[in-house]
Amino acid sequence: MMPIDVLNMAKYYGVDLRKRWYLLPLIKQAVETPLPPNWIEVEDTADDDLNDNFQSAPLYMNELSGTTQREHPADAYFRQQIENCIKEYDGRDGSAWLEFQDGTRTFYYDFATNTEQDMYPSAGLMANAQHIRIPKEVFAKAVEMHQQPKSKAIEQLDILCFHSSWKEACQGVVQTQHADIYFSISTKHFQFVLGNCEHVYTISHINGRDGKPLEAWDLRVGGKITILGRQTTLMTASMLTLQWFDHQESHLLSIKAFYRLNPSSYHDIG
């Protein structure tokens, strides 16, 4: 990734980083977000496209359906996040410097002033926005953890694990693809692991139908969520995940039973 990539992405979303530098974390994430499975970028060979807005714009094709579109499959997500960030911006100060590598050279670029330098900036580098900061340790032990059949401290489990599979055609051959979907209860981050760890996508959060980030209670075996533009069915879950849900159900049922037997202990706060 180079500064021109970030600047082009900002222009694509209609963002002037000199005025709205605080959107830089989102723009950077958009640059780094890969196409979801079964989507490829293709060359537009049409000669009758006279719309200047689409000149030199990429064209994306879904290999399963054969349909093409101008918008990146993750566009709706980023446009919504940009809109939300603009509304929530509180006027705080911050840095718009990012570090880049060009071969063996390290340099720094300030998107608020469009200046470049080799010296580390005195203002420091851009701090990742909280809602897209994804520490590596969040999912570091997820795979190993969910190989266990059960846990004696299931109430402390923070990562849920679901499995999904589907069929897709590759060079005329129908193949079955598998994916593991990990969810952090505390951070609401997702990790989408395609195949045998061939591709790993870490996602800050996924919005539900109400526009709010999905939580543990929104996830269930048989449920459908949209990951990187793909509607994905959570077909099965790990033994630890099932144990966690059973534990939560038992806990809620015990609370319900207590208040049923002790109605005077219940206070209506509505």
* Co-location of 145 and 239 in the same domain: yes
Residue 251 in this model has a pLDDT that exceeds 50: yes
* Co-location of 115 and 183 in the same domain: no
How many percent of the chain have pLDDT more than 90? 20
Out of 8-22, 100-114, 256-270, which region has the weakest mean confidence (pLDDT)?
256-270
Average pLDDT over residues 101-107: 88
The count of domains in the chain is 2
Average pLDDT over residues 105-127: 86
> pTM of the entire structure?
0.53
* Co-location of 108 and 162 in the same domain: no
Which pLDDT score, from 0 to 100, does residue 88 have? Answer: 82
Domain range holding 39? Answer: 3-130
Mean pLDDT over each residue of the chain, to the nearest integer = 80
With vertex at residue 51, the alpha carbon angle to CA 8 and CA 7, rounded to the nearest 5 degrees, is 5
Comparing 255 with 263, which gets the higher pLDDT?
A: 255
Is 124 among the domain residues? yes
pLDDT tens-digit series, residues 196-242: 655 677 777 787 777 678 899 899 999 988 886 677 899 999 999 99
Is 170 among the domain residues? yes
Return contacts of 147-154, CB within 8 angstroms, 24+ apart. Answer: 148/239, 148/240, 149/239, 149/240, 150/239, 150/240, 150/243, 151/240, 151/243, 154/240, 154/243, 154/244, 154/247
Which pLDDT score, from 0 to 100, does residue 239 have? Answer: 95
